[in-house]
Chain A
């Protein structure tokens, strides 16, 4: 037993050294970060569980995931109005990346308008841009970050629907039927009606209708009553690459 303890101590010391040495890589290199996380996970150490404590201070990983968490919250809340708080993981990642990338673009924009004012601006911009290229994130980072949000009681969680991972930002329990319908909608261009469900899932009309109506009540779906039969839509699956859908109240409104 004693031997085991001393082995663990040695190992822990080594891990600390390793982490100290590679602190920069852990923060900046998404692949390296993932491997480090896995390594820690294998021996039962979770640097994130102690983000404000020992490991967090040592590595600064806490800050990394903290910042990422804030960005994820931002993305999810700013789109909740439309998607009812359910968004594909890949879409969350894409938007977070864009949010981080946007800072580059803004500064690039500035640098072109300020060209006449000389090299000072350009230099500053270069520094900022090169700094941000190291801010790449992976899906793994997003998943970890969401896990760290859980204790906040914010209701953030990742749901597996069909073959897609969805980030839910509203405390909720989807029942089985709702999950199955949402999974189906992924394959039917973001919208379904009662008949589609009857055909594709073999359910009775009543059960199909109930699933759709509860999804409507949970604001995960919108109804189109000008279609016959009524068509139910998941806004999150509608042209997700177009951000303006969510952004009617943003910059253009500033003036």
Chain B
């Protein structure tokens, strides 16, 4: 429910035929869009456009990680069956490289440019969102686990519900750095704890 509402608010509401899908801009049907353009200025624009589409697509589907080896998730994004054109992995890498420069994405350092986090929201934004949720829900007096934030009952209706572990960790780093919260080691990632300081409200 809230997903549909927020999509409408983002101007990404769908025509009935595409109710579950994502509406691509028409350049997605432009055959040369799937060839890495050899002219530098054209390539810059092409990379920008792809970056924008990727961000919108990932936000629409609440996706966080772009995985070059997971062809299923990105099936619609990079493979246009209507015009029989496909973006090759090298081209996707080049596009993500450009996104990284702008701070819109980050390669998983261990993945040799096969996996990247797409930041359709910045850790700073998530940090603000999570800390206001904590204070508004009166959860600031106890220690919360990462699991409770990302998958707990209390956060079910929040945008950060099911947030990607890497993004959550980055978000917590921001909060700790700002002195808004402190984290506590847990047995595993989900049992990591976080305590918000009242003064940070």
Contact = CB atoms under 8 A, between A and B. Distances in A.
Pick the most buried of B31, B46, B86: most chain A CB atoms within 10 A of its CB: B31
A254 B32 CA distance: 28
Contacts of A225: 35
A170 to B, nearest CB: 10
Interface in B1-52: 9-12, 25-27, 29-35, 37-39, 41-42, 45-46, 48-49, 52
Contacts of B195: none
Contacts of B84: 226
A239 B83 CA distance: 14
A251 B11 contact: yes
A239 B25 CA distance: 11
B39 A255 contact: no
A191 to B, nearest CB: 8
A253 B49 CA distance: 12
A185 to B, nearest CB: 13
B169 to A, nearest CB: 25
A169 to B, nearest CB: 14
Contact of B35 (A82, A224, A238, A249): A224
B26 A252 contact: no
B31 A233 contact: yes
B45 A245 contact: no
B41 A219 contact: yes
A84 interface: yes
Main secondary structure of the interface of B (DSSP, over half): helix
A239 B48 CA distance: 20
B12 A223 contact: no
Interface string A223-252: 111110001010100110010110111011
Contact of B52 (A238, A249, A255): A249
Given A222-B37, A223-B38, A245-B25, A252 B11 contact: yes
A106 to B, nearest CB: 14
A233 B83 CA distance: 14
B195 to A, nearest CB: 31
Given A226-B86, A249-B52, 7 more contacts: A191-B31, A216-B42, A225-B35, A233-B30, A238-B30, A248-B56, A255-B10
13 contacts: A82-B49, A216-B39, A216-B42, A219-B39, A223-B35, A224-B34, A231-B32, A233-B30, A233-B31, A235-B27, A239-B29, A248-B52, A252-B10
Query: What 9 pairs across the A-B complex have the smallest Cβ distances?
Result: A222-B32, A81-B45, A252-B11, A242-B26, A224-B32, A245-B26, A224-B31, A244-B25, A225-B35
Interface of B: 9-12, 25-27, 29-35, 37-39, 41-42, 45-46, 48-49, 52-53, 56, 84-86
